[in-house]
A and B are shown apart, each in its own frame.
Chain A
């Protein structure tokens, strides 16, 4: 029998121009074209979007929680990357 188990797709929606696409959820579709249409019908029926991406869930490579420390901890000890790290005298503007 033909597989009827349509693949899973992750849906990303740009809610308005100027914003990046944000993950909205997933759905099933037989192929990319139908996935895009299903996403439009499901995730933007209240005008929530101006642009949609669909990606086969199987194509996403994710960082693993086990690698959380090597991946993200090194960044956590570099507070000088954040503007709040710096003391600026009061009254100095546009900085």
Chain B
């Protein structure tokens, strides 16, 4: 059920490739990062939860990349500069607080975006209709953990505030326009900020005050400009596939 993307793909030619890559790469990269937790989660129940989220995202990625071409060619044979994901999703897992902060920021955004896509009649509507339910659960998971970490112990509070602050600079990019997407992504910012603020306050944490983008990197991921850890992530992900050109797996 989770492995096989079920929505009916739109007719060929109807898909804006750049947008499919942007959304597909977001899901692919975040899924990969979450999968790195396998065997390392803080408690066994969370192994299962994180993998469920990672599998949902991988399903979305496969569907979206298949709209733009061959999923494996796109995942395994593109160079770093050709990936269109936002920098937020490629950030290393860090401690559990960093992973949860990344989840909170991204799943809240993804739920708003997919909600709008699902309501429209564009080429992404069928996928978004299915994915928005998955993503709502991811957001719920992130919110519940943000509350528990923020309002838990002194240590968990400190770690979570650090994580929110550290990842804040990657959130501005979420609202850069995506080429070919019928949704006004920039307009999602207010709704996103309201939701994040509510959760963060309820968790007894402070909304970060720093800039929401680095000095020269606004919108950079969508243009193929990534952070250093991403290259190493891709090296690991692509190595085996690239070592056997033309092989099937």
Contact = CB atoms under 8 A, between A and B. Distances in A.
Give yes or no for direct A-B contact (beta carbon below 8 Å).
yes
B141 interface: yes
Interface string A26-38: 0111100110011
Contacts of B48: 38, 41-42, 45
Contacts of A34: 144, 148
Contact of B52 (A27, A30, A45): A45
14 contacts: A27-B45, A28-B43, A29-B45, A33-B144, A34-B148, A37-B49, A37-B140, A37-B144, A38-B48, A38-B49, A41-B45, A42-B48, A45-B2, A46-B1
Nearest to A34: B144
Given A28-B43, A30-B148, A41 B1 contact: no
Contacts of A59: none
A33 B140 CA distance: 11
Main secondary structure of the interface of B (DSSP, over half): helix
Top 3 A-B pairs, shortest CB-CB distance: A38-B45, A41-B49, A41-B48
Interface string A65-77: 0000000000000
Nearest to A29: B45
Q: Which of A27, A29, A38, A47 has the most CB of B within 10 A?
A: A38
B153 interface: yes
What class of interface size applies to chain B in its complex with A?
A: 10 to 19
A2 to B, nearest CB: 7
Nearest to A6: B43
Given A37-B140, A37-B144, A41-B45, 11 more contacts: A6-B43, A28-B43, A30-B148, A33-B144, A34-B144, A34-B148, A38-B48, A41-B48, A42-B45, A45-B48, A45-B52
B52 A41 contact: yes
Q: Which of A27, A30, A37, A46 has the most CB of B within 10 A?
A: A37
Nearest to A33: B144
B141 A37 contact: yes
Interface string B1-36: 110000000000000000000000000000000000
Contacts of A47: 1
Contacts of A45: 2, 48, 52
Q: Which of A6, A27, A34, A47 has the most CB of B within 10 A?
A: A34
Interface string A1-44: 01000100000000000000000000111100110011001100
Nearest to B49: A41
A44 to B, nearest CB: 10
Contacts of B148: 30, 34
Nearest to A27: B45
